[in-house]
Structure formats: structure tokens, C-alpha cells
Amino acid sequence: MDYQDFNQFCSSFKATDHVVQWGNADVWKVGGKVFAIGGWSKDKTPAFTFKTSDLNFQFLSDHEGYIPAPYFASRGMKWIQQVDTSGHLDEELRYYLSESYRLVALGLSKRKRAELGIDI
């Protein structure tokens, strides 16, 4: 997946906002809360960062092609960065981005979800 595909996929979720910040990274938010980031790899290759469940964080932390997300994971947050963007993990990435969106949206108040038209 490249940044264009990443941005297109993230834009398919309801009530999202896209901003470019933090060193020219593509940052996707729902209800003002970040759910996905495209950018930040150490070697300037594409890397995609997303929020995970506790179980997925444990699994992906030791899974080839993924690392605990710099900055986030070191602060105790359950965020993972996909660093293998050769294409063979694209299907997994779509799943984890969808889950990240769902987790972040569920963290919004019922009122905010209703305001945004999010039915999860």
C-alpha cells in the first residue's frame, strides 16, 4: 500500500478528517481523535500507524512486518506501525485500519457518535 491508497481507504470511513501534520504525515481522525497515521518511518519508506486492541498489540508486536509504534507505544499506548509495505500485508492493514477506526469511534461519547452519524 502506498500513501495514496492509504488515504483513499481511510477516507472511506464515515465522519473522518484528514490533516497533514507531525513532519508531513497523513493523519486521519474521527471525532477529533487520531485513528491512523501514514508516515514516520525511520528510513523514509512508507509506514502506517494505527491503534489496536490489547490482544492485537501483543500479537503484532512480535509479528514480522510490524513494530510497536514509535512515540505511542513507548508511552504505554497500544499503537502499532506496519513497516513492511511491500504489498503482501495490504489486506491485513485494511483490517487493522478498520479496527482502529472502530476502537477510536467507540471511545467517543454516544452523543458525539450520533452527531457524526456513526452507528457502531
Alpha-carbon span 100 to 47, nearest angstrom: 15
pLDDT at 42: 65
What CATH number has the domain bearing residue 65? Answer: 3.90.1150.30
Count of domains for the chain: 1
pLDDT at 6: 95
Residue 104 reports pLDDT greater than 80: yes
pLDDT at 103: 97
The arithmetic mean of pLDDT across residues 45-59, rounded, is 93
Instruction: Identify the domain containing residue 85 by its residue range.
Output: 3-116
Mean pLDDT rounded to a whole number for the chain: 92
Inter-axis angle of helices 54-61 and 90-106, nearest 10 = 150
Q: Using a cut of 0.85, tell me whether the model's pTM lies above it.
A: yes
Q: Residues 10, 104, 21, 71: what is their CA dihedral angle, to the nearest 10 degrees? A: -120
